[in-house]
Structure 1
Amino acid sequence: MGERIGVVGAGYVGLTSAACLARLGHRVSCVDTDAAKVGRLRAGEVDLAEPDLAELVAEGLAAGTLAFGTDPEVLADAELVVLCLPTPPGVNGEPDLDMLRSSLARLGPVLAPDAVVVTKSTVPVGTAPRIPGYLGRPDIAVVSNPEFLREGRAVRDFLHPDRIVLGADPPDSPAAHRVANLYAPTGAPVVRTGTASAELAKYASNGFLAVKASYVNVLAELCEHCGADVHDVTAVMGMDERIGSAFLAPGPGWGGSCLPKDTSALAYAAEEAGVDFALLREAVRVNDRQRTRMVRAVRLAATGRPDGELSGVRIGVLGLAFKAGTGDLRDSPAVAVATALARHGAEVTAYDPAVRSGVDGVQVVDDPYLVAKDAAACVVLTEWPEFRELDWRRLAASVDRRVVVDARNLLDPQSLAGAGFTRIGVGTTPRRP
């Protein structure tokens, strides 16, 4: 049997880490302050729409290698304790570490003398050296092990990572070796560095992706003005190995639980250090403007004017999650656009295969064909593949105006044209029937 591991926090990162570490042969106890959630997990009920996660939890429960609780006392015999706690943005983007600090204060009296604390939580640079103080345990070793899990692919990313980052002071400490051994079955390359570099690497990675995504959205706007097709332009770019094809798809903006938070935190860290990271600030500004641009596109499609009156106008929305493969609505650009339309007076009806409620001002339905009823425009805001397979002729029979704003460039223009729809994409010329 492998190590005895404690995981603190049962959110996306914590639950995925706990279930996957159990799959890798370790004995895992996962604790969370939410008693109701813990009760559901003990019964094998997983709230997260994450592929393969429910199966892994059930497997761990059945094998006795995975357990859930609310009392940190159960971690008294843990050899390694993995912190998977939220660090939401506070004022000016500074990460809020209150939950992390309070959890560590409760853990301090519990931990065994030779335990190692592993931080998967995304934390500001310089946090690792402070953790023994938060614990009240100067004897506890700390290793920074930032997560790079993508929602919708979290289990796959954990079990088949492209790299494992381990930060320790010094990098080759015995504690770092113990953490590296956890991941040995994955065969992934291990990057050993100091804690400051490991903590910054996570922010740097997400900040770069945000800049790249904002770049492409501005490029798409330029394509619309000069008659170019963003698909062709990005295809050429993606063939350059220095650029790569990932994050070259324009859309309604980037969002989710990580990119906005981590980009704000990186900008805050740069400001505190006296470093002018104007490029990052501009990426955030572009992202905010992209959401506004999508609202204007829908208003134009529905009323004929980018500032047209939407009061009482019906808009059908396909997609609310921040991306396909998850039901996560945190900082979702789809939700931002849908709620902005509602604030302008539109009657917004939305469907998402992983979302059933929880969007202010928006009627969420359980049938995609209901969004088309009397709609002056339909808009695709999340790139769910099943939207391509909808019967667009059936949708055409329900709408008031046959126009689709394809904010993800997901749909087949020919299929839409055959159903009588005008398609308005991002970075492309509108396609009419």
Structure 2
Amino acid sequence: MTLLTLLCLFWWWLGLEICFAISAKTRFTLLKTPMSWNAAKLTCEGLGMHLAKLDTSLKQTYVQQYINNDWSADVTGELWIGLHKFDIATPELTRWYDCTIVGGPDSFDDGEPSTTTDDLCFTLSGGTNWRSSLCNDTLQAVCESSPGDCTFDTYPGNGCSHNLKASAELPWAECIADCLTDTLATGEQCWGVGHLDGFSGDDCWKFFAADDPNICIAGMYPSASIDVGIKICFESSVEIPDVPDVSSVNPDTPCFVIYTTPDTETTLGLTTTIAETTTTTTMTATSPTTDASKEPTALTFTTEQVTAVTSSSNVTSLPNLGVCRCTCTMINTSLLNLQEEIEKLRVLLTVKKSSTSLYKRKFISVQDERISAKSIGYVGATLLMLTFGTIVFLDFPVLIQQVKRLCPGNTKHRVTSV
């Protein structure tokens, strides 16, 4: 077993999956039948997939290549992707189908995300730009899935002239396996390897490219002694599915929020509906007094008085009706702010594994005052003493003989004359 394997097993024991982060393959499927955004989402899910989440420049590059090549005879226009606006109050905010934010590189078209509240779903326009559109428009779509780990296409008798490379002294099989997991600190992944068995230097050459994994194929040259392997992490297909009977102007995802404005009175950000009635309402509150013998004072006012209080848009507090008032703060919190607060709470409540007492006990010895723990200690010590004592007892006669040989003392030797 090599040192690298032992390190990998040790890291795995600590919960670190550094050595086992095998690159996953991505499959993009074109839905050839036009349908609405929600119908496309359901269709992708029915295929065991989801609407395309183009959250890396590499995914965007491959979909663009498929549109221009493999799908060129099937694509008729813009394609639905798994991006949508999620907050009607702030329509410039977007989320993917699984409610994750758009992080890293993006491909928004000029003026996108727009601030309109009608075009809530996004398409891939021309294979390059993200453009908002009405969710109930009938368009083709792109689905995405992860069918397994990346594989390799091999090109024996060829070399790769790409210069972004690292090298190692590895046989062919280990060279391929190492490329599956190797990623530079800049985020560039290993997309190809060259191997020259018996080379005076390192036999395995790894090639890295951030945007074009086919760069080794473009720079390949014939060489009888070199073998090249190209990592295959993307593939495409075309489906002609039945269109589900689903159509909506809003994206059907858990993070989509609609802020309605009913025909009611709004005070301090709180929507209240007031019934038109002249019924007299009685409220009982304790008046400020130092006389404990007095009963609570009953305050009586009509609904018209309440209406007068809540109908004004500039009201910031209740009038002085002789009751004790509490100071209340009412905030119209959007979903984005709520998610930010939840994320803060999650960070505060997250406990690092390395800070737990269970983890620390693996490396230190701590006194345990529990009776059960002491009993176990006593039993263990007793067993050790019995074992050691038994060994000494059985070997005691031999020990005595050895002592006599080493220390003869005053032992008299009888001399017999011949």
Report the structure number with the largest CA radius of gyration: 2
- TM-score of the superposition, structure 1-length normalised? 0.22
Structure with larger RCO (C-alpha < 8 A, sep 6+): 2
- TM-score of the superposition, structure 2-length normalised? 0.23
| Between structures 1 and 2, the one with greater strand share | 2
| Between structures 1 and 2, the one with greater helix share | 1
